[in-house]
Amino acid sequence: MGLADRVIKPSILRGFALYTALAGIAWCALFPILWAVSGSLKNEGEVTMPTLFPSHPQWSNYREVFALMPFWRMFFNSVFYAGCVSVGQVFFCSLAGYAFARLRFRGRDTLFVLYLGTLMVPLTVTVIPQFMLMRVAGLTDTPWAMIVPGLFGSAFGTYLMRQFFQTIPAELEEAAILDGCSPWQIYWRILLPHAKPAVMVLAVLTWFNVWNDFLWPLLMIQRGSIATLTLGLVRMQGEYVARWPVLMAASILILLPLLLVYAVAQRAFIRGIAVTGLGG
Amino acid sequence: MASVTFEQATRRYPGADRPAVDCLDLAVGDGEFVVLVGPSGCGKTTSLRMVAGLETVDAGCIRIGARDVTDVEPKDRDVAMVFQNYALYPHMTVAQNMGFALKIAGLPKAEIRDRTLDAARLLDLEPYLARKPKDLSGGQRQRVAMGRAIVRRPQVFLMDEPLSNLDAKLRVQTRNQIAQLQRRLGTTTVYVTHDQVEAMTMGDRVAVLRNGVLQQCGAPRDLYRNPANMFVAEFIGSPAMNLFTLPVVNHSVSLGDWRIRLSREITDAAGEIVVGIRPEHFEIGGRGIEMQIDVVEELGADAYLYGRVTGPDNTFGQPIVARADGHDPPLHGSRVRLHPQRGHLHFFGVDGHRLP
């Protein structure tokens, strides 16, 4: 066996094994989506059968979604809530992250650890007190109930932004100090524009969270006119329990904007994951 | 323009066993170019940052002109700094980078544009004004960093190893440009480097620091000719000065078979002294130290001989460097005799201080 054979063969074998494993994992991840797409195009009789390709694709299922629920109203609501919360999260988390990363004040690190510790408290523990707070504030069943709790940042977002700000060379900030910038100007004019990758990650993750959230809107919102898509989907399920293909079609329609957001932000998102040290 | 004065300026980092800068007394004249030089950790950058206001002054004070700026905010000190990694704002164009300080100061747009353009012309940066820093070469980025400082027309330029990220050729070229530019603008400049060649070629005066303590400050020629102590003697000059610790016998010391008579002032001071001779102050042949040549470094005009002292005296086996004529240098492996040029000998006490 020549040197080339000895060097090349193991790498080909390893590559084959690696790609087979990756393809298997990708298949596992994609199969539910494929199954949903397939289900959304089947008819009532075919939907429970274990076939991936519908015999006669029923595109009318998609039309029915719009007939059965106020899709565009709910779509707008979901976009509005996700947009507001994302902007708020980016603004407040980056401000807090800047403070924790760059400003020097007594007890800074202890405060940060305590804040980070709140990540360990599950949502189910705080959901009832939060509900009561909202009720006392008179915000239940209003759009504010969807926006206010997430608007002022989160421990995760603050952590993410702090990690990013810590990677920015101190000289950049010092140059800005000598150029006459105040701490606010340093944040707004120098660090935040520099933190675009981290901002994209936080914005996309927040958007996904709000978009997919079900429990909170279920607790807060009664009126259909301010409901989100996830609520609409579930209410549809209650009223038309047998219409699985239509439900599948609605699920796919709700998923599409997320795919679109990810597709647009993908490069910045992946770069952000790399630079904030979230990956691995 | 203004002078910069350190008066017993001290910076002590919390938890450190000695101050980073220890009672520094140094006066930089109006329009003068002073280079702070020393090995890593000597406190040169800390001293510079103290002038900028980026480091707290724990004791003493710093003056810019007549004004005590020890507790003045960095932005109010009227100084501009060029950082080692340039610290250009990556999301701004060259023009925006250069005009940023003026924009923050609220100057009219037209004035910002004019001043940016003037500085860009001075530094040959006009074609690059619309580019982002990532689209520039190292040398161009360095010039933008200079431009950013010049645009502000500050009282003092502070430069923290601005050439250390450039390749050797560009460094020499930029070194000359900075020195010329400073002379043309006449702005007081404090420049930090660890490179003694840079220090010697650029500065009106050079201040050598070690462990936070000023060792000597003077014109480059003074430092070379009359180093105040062994540290300065070794640090200034390349290759470094040869130092021989020799016993004083009958008011004289012996370098190989060459006896040097010493003044009574020197011999009264100690039983042992250190004699320093620069590599360029040896003549090959005659009485003196015998050297076994291990390596010959040929530089064209000159050749440097690296080897060990051979002979019966106490310097036996000590490494030694000597300069020889580059046209016909001795071969490695051979032995030569080195005769020190009288008048170029330096005498130090064993404590390192220069003897009269």
Q: Which two tokens stand for residue A154?
A: 């989160």
Nearest partner of B97 among B133, B121, B125, B127, judged by Cα: B133
- Pick A178's closest partner by Cβ from B81, B85, B89: B81
Confidence at residue A239, expressed as pLDDT on a 0 to 100 scale: 57
C-alpha distances (whole Å) from A33 to each of A65, A187, A246, B255 are 18, 41, 15, 89
- Pick A180's closest partner by Cβ from B52, B75, B85: B75
Residue A12 has pLDDT above 90, yes or no: no
Confidence of residue B37 (pLDDT cuts 50, 70, 90): very high
- The rounded distance, in Å, linking the Cα atoms of B108 and B105 is 9
Query: A171 and B75: CB-CB below 8 Å?
Result: no
Min Cα distance B267 → chain A (Å) is 52
ipTM attached to this prediction: 0.86
Quick one: B128 exposed, middle or buried, by C-beta within 10 A (0-12, 13-18, 19+)?
buried
Find all residues with CB under 8 Å of B141, minimum gap 6, and list them: B86, B88, B133
Q: What is the pLDDT of residues A171-213, one digit of tens each?
A: 999 999 999 999 999 999 999 998 888 898 899 899 999 999 9
Q: What is the pLDDT of residues B310-321, one digit of tens each?
A: 876 656 688 999
Please state the rounded mean pLDDT for residues A93-97: 94
Percentage of chain A modeled with pLDDT above 90 = 49
Q: Kindly identify which residue of chain B lies nearest to residue A195, measuring between CA atoms.
A: B91
Q: What is the pLDDT of residues B56-98, one digit of tens each?
A: 999 999 999 999 999 999 999 999 999 999 999 999 999 999 9
Please state the rounded mean pLDDT for residues A12-37: 91
Q: Which long-range contacts (CB under 8 A, 24 or more apart) does A101-105 make?
A: A101/A161, A101/A162, A101/A163, A101/A165, A101/A166, A102/A165, A102/A173, A102/A186, A102/A191, A103/A183
Token pair 């940052």 in the structure block, residue: B49
Q: What is the pLDDT of residues B190-215, one digit of tens each?
A: 999 999 899 999 999 999 999 999 99
Average pLDDT, chain A: 87
Please state the rounded mean pLDDT for residues B9-31: 94
Please state the rounded mean pLDDT for residues A161-178: 92
Q: Kindly identify which residue of chain B lies nearest to residue A176, measuring between CA atoms.
A: B101
Q: What is the pLDDT of residues B245-302, one digit of tens each?
A: 988 888 888 888 888 888 887 777 678 899 999 999 999 988 888 899 999 999 989 9
Biggest CA-to-CA distance, chain B? 78
Nearest partner of B161 among B121, B134, B189, B195, judged by Cα: B195
Percentage of chain B modeled with pLDDT above 90 = 71
Confidence at residue A1, expressed as pLDDT on a 0 to 100 scale: 47
Token pair 């397939």 in the structure block, residue: A38
Q: Kindly identify which residue of chain A lies nearest to residue B100, measuring between CA atoms.
A: A179
Angle (CA) B20-B23-B25 rounded to 5° is: 120
- Pick B104's closest partner by Cβ from A185, A194, A196: A185
Query: A171 and B87: CB-CB below 8 Å?
Result: yes
Query: B85 and A181: CB-CB below 8 Å?
Result: no
Q: Say what the pTM is.
A: 0.81
- The rounded distance, in Å, linking the Cα atoms of B108 and B183 is 29
Taking contacts as CB-CB distances below 8 angstroms, the residues of chain B near A178 are 52-54, 74-75, 79-81, 101
Confidence at residue A116, expressed as pLDDT on a 0 to 100 scale: 92
Confidence of residue A2 (pLDDT cuts 50, 70, 90): low
Query: A171 and B91: CB-CB below 8 Å?
Result: no
Give CA B327 to chain center in angstroms. 31
